[in-house]
Structures are given as structure tokens and as C-alpha cells.
Amino acid sequence: MGHPFEIRDTNHRPVVPDSGRRVFAHYMVGLACDHPPECWVHDVAAAKAAGIDGFALNIGPSDHWTSIQLDHAYEAAEKCGGFSMFISFDMAAGYWSVPQVVSLISRYQTSPAQTMVDGKALVSTFEGSDWAPNWLTVRNEIAICLIPNWSSLGPHGVAHKLDLIEGAFSWDAWPKPGQSKMTTVEDLFYKDCLRGKKYMMGVSPWFYTGKFTSPSVSLFYLIAGPDLPQWNKNWYCSGESLWHDRWQQVLEVMPDFVQIITWNDFGESSYVCDSSSAQVVSGTETYVSGHCHAAFRAVLPYFITAFKSGTADIDWHGKNTAIAWYRTVPIRGQQHSATVWGQGGTVSATHGAKDVVSVMAVTKGVACITVTIGNACRVTFETTSRNPVSYFEVPYDHRITGPVSLTLNGKTAVGPEIEVWHGNGKVSDRFGK
């Protein structure tokens, strides 16, 4: 995955209404074992500048650095102000005891940076539906607002546990196997099954993770993402228009909360944070280095403002912004690989990716956007005054190579080259933005 790149032409900050709706980002604390306090301050400031309200701090039960890093996280949020934290217990990472869970919630409950919902500390999970009965014991010790991710149960299964929770968080943020687009079917099913309880909707820009076999049989891997065989995961979800589509769906569904998946999971290519080499696990370096995804955040101020306003029809006075993302290698000529299209899929992921440069813009009125690929392709679009958000795709193939440039109202940014993979085992032509 390379980096999406951006152009902005003003510096006006929008005024965001206080509707009670909030946007969080999923933060993998397990990757922050050596994160100094100043890096937490940087992360908080960067997220806050994009309009994000807080981090969901994903923690495992046995990492010795957890308490230290949680202290740093909460202290950074307190220092920056206007930003909050809550713990997301990763129940898939190992065994949690009730006293351990109670102790961690109690430790941060009184922090000014603790996310509160209806006067109670917000708590979430990654899975753990089998642990569900233990939350009754936790509640005997401390008041919480529990909004777990029990996506393995699905909406119908969650509906049978409403007496244990205040709401639910859906991890369903990517297209299903064999599908190129997300829908809101599951989101609406959750809202219906929750019967008025709070719904936290998952939103993500991308997903790829895999296990390397060899250049000859795993070409999609070579152009697609991290080599993490230890996790036994090897799939790609269609993402050409996902960041655009999913935020439009947020404005349709209007959930109580949104959680961006993820802030910093480099191993699954879903990160929107600034580059952080200290958090990049072994096997992902080649695909993360030089491929910052921070530009995904450039369009968030509009969407978050609209979300909190309760309507896409807002008088937008923020920054004119355009971002672009793309793979740096055409699909044509590649062999079928072990990487499948979607989690649990059976079809090769090479059938689920399109050779396009994806362009997303947020503008106050009519604007001119030009995409150039090398010397062979130049396409110009004009946004409309009827809708602040525009989305375009510029097709390319093995005959169209070279650097990609994006121009908005005369200002230009240049991204990595699109190149043809020659089958020599090199990974320089990786799947990128």
C-alpha cells in the first residue's frame, strides 16, 4: 500500500455542532510498546485536527507495557484537551480475568480524558461474546457503558444479549467476499436489532494482509501488502471507492457513533495515522515504508461535520481538498495467487481489484481537478456546486505508467509511479496508494 496524497487550498476550520454523535479511531496499543509520551501527543493532535473525538484503545491481557502506554495515552489526551480515550478489551488476544478488567476501567474512570456516555465510562471489546456473562460481575464493581464488538454473533445474535449491553459496535467495514462495494444492510439490521440502544458503525479505508509463499505463486501478495504468515490471514477486500462510499453511508445511516478501523494497524493496511516506523511489525516494512496514509484524514472534517449536523446538506466553509489513491502495479498479466478476495473468500484477489486511480474531493463549489499518469494519460474533471463531495476513477493498464499527479485549482501534488511488474521477484512495484 502506498500513500494517498492530497491538495488543500484554504485554511479555514469549520464549526462543528454538538449533537452527541462522536467519531473515534481504533488504536492498537500492542504496537506502541516503545511509544514515548511525545508520540502520543502527536497522535492525539493529528487525530483531533481531523475532527476525530477520541481513540478506542485496543489492549491485550498480557502485554507488560499496557499500563505504561495507557497512562501516556490518557495523559496526552488530557494535555491536548478536547479529546478522549476508552478501553477496547481484545478478547481474542488471550484470557481476561474480571479483576483485571475492573482494575483497568477503574484506573482511568476519573481521568478528564475518559470517554463518558450517559455519565458512565465507555468500554468496548474486540469480540469476547463468550465472556459476556462476566460483565454482570464487572457492573457490580463499577458503572460502565458497554458497547462491544461481538460481530461474530451478527446483529441477530447481539439482539439476544441486549440485557448485557448499552449498544453494539460493528466490525463490518469492508465488502464481503466477491463483492466490490459495501452496503448498509448490516448497519440497518444492527440498528433494528438494538431496539433503540446505541450503534457504533465501523468505517475503514482499506484492508489487506497476507502470508508470503513465493514470487511465482503469490504475485498479488507482492503487489498488495504485508507478509504476516504468523497470523494465518491472507485476503484483500475491494477498496477502490471504500473510503468515499462508507462515509456517504454514515450520512445515510446516522449511527450514534463511528469508529475508524484503524488508526495504526500497519499489518492490515487499514491505518490512517502518520508514518511511525517504531510501530511497524516485522514483515510489513517494505509495504509501509514510503506509503503514508495520512491523506485519508484530509476529507474527514467535512464528513464529521455533516455527521454531527445530522445531514449531508451543510453550508460547507472548510478546506477545498482532493486526495488520490491507487495500486502502483496493473493487474493484467499477473498469475492467480493464494490471496483471496474478501475474508473467507475462494476467488483470487486479482479478480477483486480494479486498475484505477481513485480521486475524492471536498470543495465549496465548482473546482477543476486534473489527474495525470506519466505522459500517456491526462483526465480533467469538474466538480459541481450541488454537492461538496466528488468521486472519480481514472482507469489505467500496463501501457499507462509513470508518476501520478493530482491538480486542484492549479495546485499540484505528485504520487508514486505506476510501473509494470517484470516478474523478477522485486517488491518495489507494490500494491500502493
pLDDT of 425: 39
Domain with CATH 2.60.40 in the chain: 321-418
Question: What sign does the dihedral 120-122-123-127 (CA atoms) show?
Answer: positive
Is domain 321-418 in CATH 2.60.40, yes or no?
yes
Find out whether 404 and 372 touch, Cβ atoms under 8 Å.
Answer: yes
Phi-psi region of 298 (alpha: psi -120 to 50; beta: other; left: phi over 0): alpha
Find out whether 161 and 129 touch, Cβ atoms under 8 Å.
Answer: yes
The domain 16-309 is placed in CATH, from the list 3.60.15.10, 3.30.200.20, 3.10.20.600, 3.20.20.80, at: 3.20.20.80
Mean pLDDT of successive 10-residue stretches along the chain, which has 433 residues: 62 62 96 91 97 98 94 98 98 96 98 98 98 97 98 97 98 92 97 98 88 30 40 76 97 98 87 75 64 89 96 88 89 65 79 90 93 94 90 91 92 88 42 34
* 3-state SS string for 177-210: CCCCCCCCHHHHHHHHHHCCCEEEEEECCCEEEE
For residue 212, give the C-alpha cell: 508470503
CA 291 to chain centre: 15
Alpha carbon separation from 70 to 113, 115, 267, 357, 408 (Å, rounded): 11, 14, 21, 39, 41
pLDDT of 1: 46
pLDDT of 327: 83
Contacts (Cβ under 8 Å, ≥6 apart) of 178 = 341, 342, 345, 347, 352
CA 376 to chain centre: 33
Q: How many angstroms separate the first and last alpha carbons of the chain?
A: 5
SS3 281: coil
Domain with CATH 3.20.20.80 in the chain: 16-309
Find out whether 238 and 4 touch, Cβ atoms under 8 Å.
Answer: no
Contacts (Cβ under 8 Å, ≥6 apart) of 272 = 25, 205, 260, 262, 263, 293, 294, 296, 297
pLDDT of 222: 27
Residue 371's nearest CA partner among 385, 387, 356 is 356
